[in-house]
Amino acid sequence: MTGAASSARRRLSSFLLARPRLALAILLAPPLSWLGAVYLGSLASLLVQSFFTLDDYTGQVVRELTLSTYGQLLTAANLDIVLRTSAMAAAVTVAAAALGFPLASLAARHARGRMRALFYLGVLLPLWSSYLVRLYAWKLILAREGVATWFVQRLGLLGALEAVLELPVVGGPSLSASYLGMFVVFVYMWLPYMVLPVQAALERVPPSLLEASGDLGARPAATFRHVTWPLAFPGVVAGSIFTFSLTLGDYIIPGVIGQSNLFIGQAVVIHQGTAGNIPLAAAFSMVPIAIMAGYLAVARRLGAFHAL
Amino acid sequence: MRSSRALWAAASFALLFLHAPVLLILLYAFTTDAASFTFPPPGYTLRWFAVAWDRPDVWQALGLSLRVAAGATGMALALGTLLAAAVFRSRFFGREALSVLVILPIALPGIVTGIALRSGMSLAGVPFSTWTIVAGHATFCIVVVYNNVIARLRRTAWSQVEASMDLGADGFQTFRHVVLPNIATALLAGGMLAFALSFDEVIVTTFTAGPQQTLPLWMLSEVVRPRQRPVTNVVAVFVIAVTLVPILLAHRLTSGTETVAGGGK
Amino acid sequence: MSPPGHPVAVRFDGVVRRFGDVRAVDSVNLEILDGEFFTLLGPSGSGKTTCLRLIAGFERPDGGRLFLHGADSGALPPYERDVNTVFQDYALFPHMTVEQNVAYGPMIRGVPRARRRRLAMEALEQVKLAELAARKPAQLSGGQRQRVALARALVNRPRVLLLDEPLGALDLKLRQQMQVELKALQRQVGITFVYVTHDQEEALNMSDRLAVMRAGAIEQVGAPGEVYEEPRTWFVASFVGASNLLTGPVALKLMGAPGAYSVRPEKIALHQAGAEVQGGGDRAVLDGRVVEVAYLGALSRARVEIEGGATLTVVLQNADAGHRDVARMQGQPVRLSFRRDQVRALEATEGAPA
């Protein structure tokens, strides 16, 4: 570097060092303006759109602020959609917690060194693998001629499967077009999101606490109930944020492994698509945000933010 | 610590549950059955790999995915690093809010981000194209780079920066000789994770794309309306491989790195 | 104020440094002479490290002025000051070898590779670490890293070297050895050393002059002997070494004038009860009873309760006494005496026990 260029660089460095706030502003300007303009701006425009309505006759969006679009959300059919989606989200969360806790427990407490790293990767890899590939895999499995049926047949439980599929809520024409199938796929997809925070929370429990509990006379079940679970709970809540939120907003899984009854995500897609009813689509997309805002407030109270 | 067999059984089941489906796809990439997902596969063949190789739409989608991922990663690296540098040392008004803001694109359901971006872009009169896809991807990739870089920055002793300036290096020289080597692997890891994230993304892409198709968009149309199932299987295998490598590498780069400022502290 | 022919290396002129509401450095005036080994001594939070960082340039004064070799340098960035620092955590660059670390300063200045290699090796030889030049910091022990940090700072031939509690992480024996080496090094190299520590023994051992700091201000500056034997305030008397505080009627009776006095434990002689004390009028004499005695190998420390209920701490060398004799002292009536001219009248008694 030539003398002139390097001394100019030095002068610039000294200039910025003496003005830390200016340096900070320079650092923050690009990312902040991007996130602000592109992202927040888009969110704001969506929110604004939810206060407009679609004129049924002209098919144009009427740019006047009104609550009538939100009113449309309250019709029986639309409420159904919200409730259906929320119920599925809750079921998926509970199942993911039940299935994920033993795995997290093992990885946190009982595996050492290389085993623990392997467990961690074992949970991390599906998390980062392609969503669509994993979904596609289930389409394979749940197909009528696929692995699931083959497996059930080998176990001699085909009759039981048919009976389950006959059930009103859970069943459907086939596994790959039923709430049961959807439920299994959702749990599969979001399981890693539950395991990781729970594992982190469990890892933070010092073994001496469990030993102390045993020393004071508690049996394993009691120790779990009084010591392990309360300490792991924030991790479970943190994981549940993901499982709940992801289920609330998903529209692909219900579309691929579902029936004609809509989930929130699908409602958003449909309304903003050919119908061009952006206001209603926007209003629908506010529902998961509102639900999650409330959920996050409760989760924060339960200590989940320290477990994230 | 003794662990009960029930625990091991439950955990193993969960792990199996997590990995078996993808392994099955691997199996299906070799099946001779072209029309359905019969299990067990009636026969095994390699010819679908050749068929997939000859499909132009697959190559186009792959090319677009790679270009989009590269663009989004580049932007995420720049913006994420700047943000990490700003947040790391300074206390300023709204700092906590910023940490929430950067994670929002990935925390809010994809559908919300997708439709918000679409509505914002159409309001601004921006036509949907490759650029809008890149813009959407960059927005949620920033947080991945940011997390990696700031975690590494927090593990780096600040005294190194002071030592460098004390020894005669100005701010820029210090960045080049001391800071950059320290965060290099974190940048690499963040970049690779961002790449994997972008390569795989489908929801936001659906909303921000024009007539183009990225590989996930291609896969989505195949999942809904299959053309040649085995080809889809082959592409699926390919996608698994492509996203596996950066993730494993990123993991290796960010685990077990220690900072040694030299102190006996 | 500086003696003729002794230029001033560092001058603080009413320097203030604030962090929020706290004045970490509170209107400090200080002169550090060229070529001296100067120590800033004080407890944590006293402002000594902040003063050091002000000299280095990592902090800027909020008020007052800072002069380096006569030039007003408060606003200069660290890389433009002829000052180098040895950090408390050594701050070695982990991705560079020892040699590259030491050669960093020359490298930044654009010194060609062959020459800076030579400079680095010379500096490493000076700290007796030449054979480890190819290692990375992670492969070194604490003591070795410290020497590398020293070499890295010295290779630039700064006019002032700053050392921020460099020996804190080392074990006792190594610390004592390094104290000797650092002192010798300073004599050899001849530059100004500004040393920060909370260890008063270190300060007394190594310094030409030292400053005792408390709560952002300097309480006393002087040569070690001066500060130890003529403390101006109770804080200095009790921080640099240990001391007894004499106040009230007891002080009046023993010293003949009212006030607060500091008398060092080792200056008090212990006699048998009722013994006759030599030295007559120059010594103060008083009686008491040993309430507690601790055997410390080479020394013993006894707490003696005197009239009025106060206790004095006395330190004795175990020259003739063995541990059994020391143990027997417990509870015994004794007579104490000390020379009046070894007692200091204190100007301030802030922080003294009631």
Backbone angles phi, psi at B48, to 5 degrees: -65, -25
In chain C, which residue's Cα lies nearest the Cα of A3?
A: C110
Residue C316 contacts residue C326 (beta carbons within 8 Å): no
What is the amino acid identity at position A155? L
Q: Report how far Cα C295 is from the mean position of its chain's Cα atoms.
A: 27
User: Could you tell me the CATH superfamily of domain C8-239?
Assistant: P-loop containing nucleotide triphosphate hydrolases (3.40.50.300)
Angle of CA points B113, B117, B118, to nearest 5°: 115
pLDDT per residue as tens digits for the range A264-302 = 888 888 888 877 788 888 998 899 888 888 888 888 788
Per-chain mean pLDDT for chain C: 91
Q: Number of helices and strands (H, E) in chain A?
A: 16, 2
What is the C-alpha to C-alpha distance for residues A2 and A21, in angstroms, rounded to an integer?
A: 30
What is the C-alpha to C-alpha distance for residues B254 and B89, in angstroms, rounded to an integer?
A: 21
Write the burial class of residue A217 (CB in 10 Å: 0-12 exposed, 13-18 middle, 19+ buried).
Answer: exposed
Chain C contact for A17 (CB, 8 A cutoff): yes
Minimum distance, in Å, between the CA of residue B148 and any CA atom of chain A: 15
State the CATH class of domain C245-345. mainly beta
pLDDT at B3 over 70: no
Banded model confidence at residue B262, pLDDT cuts 50, 70, 90: very low
Angle of CA points A289, A291, A296, to nearest 5°: 90
pLDDT of residue A204: 82
Characterize the bridge pairing of strands A53-54 and A61-62. Answer: antiparallel
Write the burial class of residue A206 (CB in 10 Å: 0-12 exposed, 13-18 middle, 19+ buried).
Answer: exposed
Residues of B in contact with A103 (CB under 8 A): 10-11, 14-15
pLDDT per residue as tens digits for the range A224-248 = 888 888 888 988 998 898 899 889 8
CB-based contacts of B178, cutoff 8 Å, min separation 6: B160, B161, B164, B169, C93
Domain range summary for chain C, segments of one domain joined by +: 8-239, 245-345
What is the C-alpha to C-alpha distance for residues B204 and A249, in angstroms, rounded to an integer?
A: 12
Characterize the bridge pairing of strands C209-214 and C37-41. Answer: parallel
Characterize the bridge pairing of strands C192-197 and C160-164. Answer: parallel
B3 and A122: CB-CB below 8 Å?
no
Q: Residue A211 has which token pair? A: 């030993």
Q: What is the mean pLDDT of residues C126-150?
A: 93
Banded model confidence at residue B49, pLDDT cuts 50, 70, 90: confident
pLDDT at B7 over 90: no
What is the C-alpha to C-alpha distance for residues B7 and B230, in angstroms, rounded to an integer?
A: 38
In chain A, which residue's Cα lies nearest the Cα of C76?
A: A14
pLDDT of residue B265: 28
pLDDT per residue as tens digits for the range B77-119 = 999 999 999 988 888 888 878 877 887 887 788 889 999 998 8
pLDDT at C253 over 60: yes
Among B70, B73, B61, residue whose Cα is nearest residue B235? B61
CB-based contacts of A177, cutoff 8 Å, min separation 6: A257, A258, A259
Residue C314 contacts residue C258 (beta carbons within 8 Å): no
CB-based contacts of C60, cutoff 8 Å, min separation 6: A18, C17, C54, C74, C75
pLDDT of residue A158: 78
pLDDT per residue as tens digits for the range A119-149 = 888 888 888 788 888 888 888 888 877 788 8
Q: Residue C288 has which token pair? A: 């008491």
Residue C103 contacts residue C117 (beta carbons within 8 Å): yes
pLDDT per residue as tens digits for the range C15-29 = 999 998 899 999 999
* CA–CA distances in Å: residue A84 to residues A265, B232, C118: 12, 32, 76
What is the C-alpha to C-alpha distance for residues B127 and A34, in angstroms, rounded to an integer?
A: 18
Chain C contact for A226 (CB, 8 A cutoff): no
A46 and B251: CB-CB below 8 Å?
no
Q: Strand, helix or coil at C253? A: helix
For residues A87, A91, A92, A95, the Cα torsion angle rounded to the nearest 10 degrees is: 180
pLDDT of residue B263: 29
pLDDT per residue as tens digits for the range C31-58 = 999 999 999 999 999 999 999 999 999 9
pLDDT of residue C80: 94
ipTM of the complex: 0.84
B263 and C108: CB-CB below 8 Å?
no
pLDDT of residue C5: 54
Q: Residue B123 has which token pair? A: 């309001």
What is the C-alpha to C-alpha distance for residues C123 and C103, in angstroms, rounded to an integer?
A: 9
Residues of A in contact with B28 (CB under 8 A): 140
In chain C, which residue's Cα lies nearest the Cα of B183?
A: C95
pLDDT at C227 over 80: yes
Kindly give the residue spans of alpha helices, DSSP state H, lying in A50-170: 68-73, 76-105, 113-128, 131-142, 147-154, 158-166
Nearest to C79 among B165, B181, B259 (CB): B165
Banded model confidence at residue C354, pLDDT cuts 50, 70, 90: low
pLDDT of residue B45: 83
Among A260, A255, A246, A259, residue whose Cα is nearest residue A288? A246
pLDDT at B138 over 90: yes
pLDDT per residue as tens digits for the range C298-317 = 999 999 999 888 899 999 99
Q: How many CA atoms lie within 13 A of C178 on its CB side?
A: 21
pLDDT of residue B119: 86
- Report DSSP letters for A170-195, one per residue: T--SSGGGSHHHHHHHHHHHHHHHHH
Among C82, C185, C179, C99, residue whose Cα is nearest residue C135? C99
Which of A39, A245, A246 should be substituted to probe chain B, the one whose Cβ sees the most B Cβ atoms within 10 Å? Answer: A39
Helix B229-254, helix B215-224: angle, nearest 10: 140
State the CATH class of domain A75-307. mainly alpha
What are the residues facing C213 on neighbouring strands?
C218
Q: Which letter, b or e, does each residue of C100-131 get, where b requires 16 or more Cβ atoms within 10 Å of its Cβ?
A: bbbbbbbbbeebeeeebbebbbebbebbebbe
Per-chain mean pLDDT for chain A: 85
Among C40, C75, C70, C31, residue whose Cα is nearest residue C57? C75
Q: What share of chain C is helix, strand, coil (3-state, %, to 5)?
A: 35, 30, 35
Q: What is the mean pLDDT of residues C186-206?
A: 94
Q: What share of chain A is helix, strand, coil (3-state, %, to 5)?
A: 80, 0, 20
- Which of A26 and A220 is assigned the larger pLDDT? A26
A18 and C75: CB-CB below 8 Å?
yes
The number of beta carbons lying within 10 Å of the beta carbon of residue A11 is 11
Which uninterrupted H or E stretch holds B117? helix B110-123
Categorise residue A14: left if φ over 0, alpha if ψ from -120 to 50, beta otherwise.
alpha
Domain range summary for chain A, segments of one domain joined by +: 3-49, 75-307
- Which of C78 and C248 is assigned the larger pLDDT? C78
The number of beta carbons lying within 10 Å of the beta carbon of residue C287 is 14
Residue B204 contacts residue B140 (beta carbons within 8 Å): yes
Helix A20-33, helix B56-89: angle, nearest 10: 150
Residues of A in contact with B110 (CB under 8 A): 249-250
The number of beta carbons lying within 10 Å of the beta carbon of residue A69 is 23
Q: How many CA atoms lie within 13 A of C351 on its CB side?
A: 12
Which of A12, A17, A19, A21 should be substituted to probe chain C, the one whose Cβ sees the most C Cβ atoms within 10 Å? Answer: A17
Domains of chain B with CATH codes: 42-254 (1.10.3720.10)
pLDDT of residue C348: 76
pLDDT of residue B259: 32
Size of interface A-B (CB pairs under 8 A): 246
pLDDT of residue C350: 73
Banded model confidence at residue B234, pLDDT cuts 50, 70, 90: confident
Minimum distance, in Å, between the CA of residue A114 and any CA atom of chain C: 23
What is the C-alpha to C-alpha distance for residues A114 and A120, in angstroms, rounded to an integer?
A: 10
Range 155-174 of B in CB contact (< 8 A) with A: 170-172
Minimum distance, in Å, between the CA of residue C61 and any CA atom of chain A: 12
Which of C79, C81, C108 should be substituted to probe chain A, the one whose Cβ sees the most A Cβ atoms within 10 Å? Answer: C79
B240 and A129: CB-CB below 8 Å?
yes
